[in-house]
Amino acid sequence: MNHFMSSSLVSYARAKMAEIAASDLTRVLRPTARGDGLIVARGGKKLISFSCNDYLGLSRHPQVIAAAIAATQRYGAGAGASRYVTGDNPLYGEVEARLARIKGTANQNGGGAIVFGSGYLANLGIIPALLGDGDLIVGDELMHACMHGGSRLSRAKILLFRHNDVDHCAEILAQERAKHGHCLVMTEGVFSMDGDRAPVKRLADIARRHDAWLFTDDAHALGVIGDGKGSAHADGADGQVPLQMGTLSKAVGAYGGYLCADADTLELVRHRARSLIYSTGLPPAALGAADAALELIETDAELVAKPLAKARLFTDALNLPAAESAIVPVMLGEPKRALGAAQQLEEAGFMVVAIRPPTVPDGTSRLRVTFSAAHDDADVLRLAEAMKQLEIVTP
């Protein structure tokens, strides 16, 4: 019986993988060693990476590394248990206080922040903690997979509005809001695959008009736009976004996720978010690193201005629409074309990863080019020239 079950499983897996391969959607884990700066070692070659979310280069910053080492030496390699058992390291308080200052919730009804094990875990926990049967979620159609995951776990009704279309969001709310108990309007502050920004202030106005709670995922906005404070500040919506979520693994250069909100909401989430209650706490090194990185984001205005400046240098060089964030998509259409372009750039000494469905919609495979404060302007311009020479982009 066991042999029959395993054979059918193997047959199923092989058949599904054959379908994936036929669509040029096979994913391969490629060992990649990140060194100093933005040089990576992959497949025996050294490449300049334009695919990393380390937007400020803080994962390699001496102060951040020293803080991670110091935290490990003092508290050990692991947390040992859930935050509710023995894993609530004293460093959590420092990290959460910094997040609350940066995101503007420190003075919001005694508000603050709460840190989760990752951004994905945050969204899997926060959304079901706030909504349930009979409630409504109105989300941008391009919101991240973890936002969809948390929404489904909540059992609320989920309706999607066209990407960044505030009028469509308003139409849905006008038709559906009164039929449901509570309501979230959800968007990414900076969209992870397109690099464009959400119209946060207009969404905040619409949400408030319909007694809905605006939820922004600022994973790719913190440390990059709005003087490093993220999408609400960048769009003039300070104090108008009751639920600001994000990660510590991108511009912060460490690991973890967070929610910034008022004190009462945070208390409810602490009591109901299963991904917080039942997950082991973060390693002390991640907390030490995050604390040091957030201090730099708070205090170094020149640093946080660099990723967007580098991205705009690239878009100007290729006559593309001006970058709105550190992410610039180069749209190529079909998966095979995107894979081919990524291979050409790798042969030219650059790592620029191809993004294909299901991460992005069918027909929109692309190169996702990301920029860091650590990039030299000369390397940015060399990448742009390589894309022109290879006819990946024809300005």
Q: Which residues are catalytic?
A: 53, 144, 188, 192, 217, 220, 250
**Which residues are CB-neighbours of 22 under 8 A, at least 6 positions away?**
none
Cα dihedral 78, 80, 85, 89 in deg (nearest 10): -30
d(CA 101, CA 366): 36
Under a CB-based contact definition with an 8 Å cutoff, are residues 220 and 326 in contact? yes
Residue 174 — left, alpha, or beta (φ > 0 → left; ψ -120 to 50 → alpha)?
alpha
d(CA 365, CA 317): 22
Cα dihedral 161, 166, 171, 177 in deg (nearest 10): 80
d(CA 274, CA 93): 20
Under a CB-based contact definition with an 8 Å cutoff, are residues 283 and 129 in contact? no
**Which residues are CB-neighbours of 109 under 8 A, at least 6 positions away?**
262, 263, 264
For 333-361, the DSSP string reads ESHHHHHHHHHHHHHTTEE--EE-TTSS-
Helices (H), 30-183: 62-75, 91-103, 119-130, 145-154, 166-176
> Does an H or E element contain 216, and which?
strand 213-217
Q: Which residues pair with 32 in a beta bridge?
A: 42
> Does an H or E element contain 368, and which?
strand 365-370
